[in-house]
Chain A
Amino acid sequence: MANATAGQHPLSLFAIDSILDEEEKAIRNTVRRFCQERVRPHIAGWYESATIPLRDLARELGNMGLLGMHLVGYGCAGATATSYGLACMELEAADSGLRSLVSVQGSLTMFAIWRYGSQEQKAEWLPRLASGAAIGCFGLTEPDFGSDPGGMRTRARRDGDDWVLDGTKMWITNGSVADVAVVWARTDDGIAGFVVPTASPGFSAPEITRKMSLRASVTSELVLDGVRLPGTAVLAEAKGLSAPLSCLNEARFGIVFGALGAAQDCLETTLAYVAGRTIFDKPLAAYQLTQAKLADMTLELGKGMLLALHLGRLKDAGDIRAEQVSLGKLNNAREALSIARECRTLLGANGITLEYPVMRHASNLESVLTYEGTSEVHQLVIGHALTSQPAFR
């Protein structure tokens, strides 16, 4: 958006708009404008103070239909996966924290209930989560188990008809503000999911502070201390670890697009900056070294975008595979971070401040590189697909 330059936009070099339909563009433009008016004027302040008016934002996003937008029924918009990706991209162009809020709400919490829940669970939670009246979180990671969630220690045991949950979850986005948590726990029959109202006795969610990344996002610990739930709280259709992993695959898909939003914002900012910054009597934009950087970054952004859209079309056709989403997550998170770092060099000292979005995006992308499967884990997924040799352990 920061198009103070006379040159072309990096993505229009790739004629990306020519492969989007009217509906996709309308959804993208609506989210772009929302971010422009409601988020961008405040985001640096929210980031610095590590506070975000999460409930107000969720309401506004809910009114637009953004929360769980790719799900069907229960108040969800039923948009395409590609449109969902484009929305994530615009959100993350503002800040990865905002996109994280939406990923966790729509792709993790709502998707888990929508895909694995009972009619009662869906009717109780989905309309409220879709409208933003309720906030959700998704508890899989534990202090000692991140890339290997199958080792989790959180336990759910039967007590008569009830379930009783004990354990600790870590790094849980939206945790302290959530009304409902989807919590994964070990049972005698393997890993199961539970819909846990956060008001349940024994549930607490202390916020994790002193973060250097995703500061405009709430990250928490979930402590489950003898949390008693009715028998109906279990996600009946979710059997084993593949269920939470399928949810992560949904959220990852959003990151494939989202990470590029952050990269694009860095590149737009940088293009405007180098046009206006005079060094040794000519614009920084007029140096060959600068142009080589700009060209390389544009190439990676455009290639990432083409990959994202290709994956979007595959997903909309209903035949995307998990390792294909891994291709997108690995490439786009990694390239976005490297674009952000390169842009930072072009902004010089200005690049380290919150006056420009670049360092903020770079810091955020460090989290994006790690969550939803680290880069190494996605390399292993792709390696497994290529060689049939699982090398995870």
Chain B
Amino acid sequence: MKLIFERSRPGHGCDMLPANDVPTLQPAAEYTRQTAPNLPEITEGEISRHYSELERNSRGVNNGFYPLGSCTMKYNPKINDEMAALPGFAELHPLQPPHTVQGALQVMQMAEELLDEITGMDCMTFQPAAGAHGEYTGIAMIKAYHKKRGEGKTRTKMLVPDAAHGTNPASAAMNGYTVVTIPSAPDGGVDVEALRAAAGADTAGLMLTNPNTLGLFEKNICEITQIVHDAGGLNYYDGANLNAIMGIVRPGDMGFDVIHLNLHKTFSTPHGGGGPGSGAVGCKTILAPFLPRPVVAQEGGTLVLSNDIPDSIGKVRSFYGNFLITLRALCYVLTLGQQGIPAAATGAVLNANYLMRKLATPAEIAYNRTCMHEFVLSMKTLKKETGVSALDLAKGLLDYGIHPPTMYFPLIVEEALMFEPTETESIETLAEAAEAFRALVALAHQNPEALHSAPHSTPVRRPDEVGAARNPVLKYDFAR
């Protein structure tokens, strides 16, 4: 594929603006740039073709099954995008007077109310722009809480299970916490005794993902949160996996003080090829004084954005977050409603268990229990027997038009493949995927080479990642 810069021809371009209707002025030379940027010179038709080609060489949920674990690649309803594009939302300046944005503030307030009820929390901020940003924010709130109580200097440790996503320890460390890794027990849950031993007067809190990244519900969840509370710490819930349990059980009822949601996973706002998302953070009343500024508040009969939060952690980004993503999530919750929310969770868990059982014979289930919305296979025996790795199998799936599962995560499972089918897939799709997987395992035994070199039908095959990192070429070289 050509780069857009390689399609550029001097003199090509689009005509977007009328002539200047005031006298054209030019800043003095000391203020101006010395060389013009090399931007493409290209006509609109050429732009259209270029991006159509890039689109054909991309993969979205619209193209086929996308069981990428921990990412909840469910169908993204179109009404949500259309509502987000309404001029009365998309054309609002963030600093308009409050009486001109009552509808927008209602969107935020309504989304907060509904998501508070779903999570069992008391308040919510939509300022964080993604899950990791929500983690950073929630942990900063925990830190502010301890500081306010005079324990900021003594509570220096954040407990994080070894199965946690990499963003958890990274977000804790950004807040200056020492990360204490809690091992998993043989059943895949948190090792409760290890947790008990680790929790103490220096514990700031625990970051728990539930269902955990093995796709398992923490059976001892209430005991776990109690241990942390007894030690004076707070419980953080990584809500990336909320799709399994929304409408079934609420983190706020299980002893969690703060949670982030990935609205771009559970609440079907599209991923956009890597964002924009929203990492809405919900919390209990005890943490409300520390929420980022501003919050939506009622003043007389109108809604306002209030900065009157003296103990707020401050701001974690500009304005009020990815508002149009919040709005999409609101549309989704309104659509599914009281019955639809738990039905989606049930559907996701049923699909995952069905697919897991279908794959149980050709592969090994890492932890053989009823799973939640996702499950992890270990390909270590296959690798020992045939030399075919989890990566090889994943690449093989590409030849069947299936997006591979998440690979080599969580780190505690050897040769891990993590599947999350989501509720928006049919039994037929799941059965076809299982068939493809079976065929690939059979192929691994017959002709491992065919899988070492897979995929065979994609536009490119097995890019040299080592070379890319060793000799970084991170932009187009106009001189070549």
Whether A and B are associated in the same complex: the answer reads no
**B residues bordering A, Cβ < 8 Å?**
none
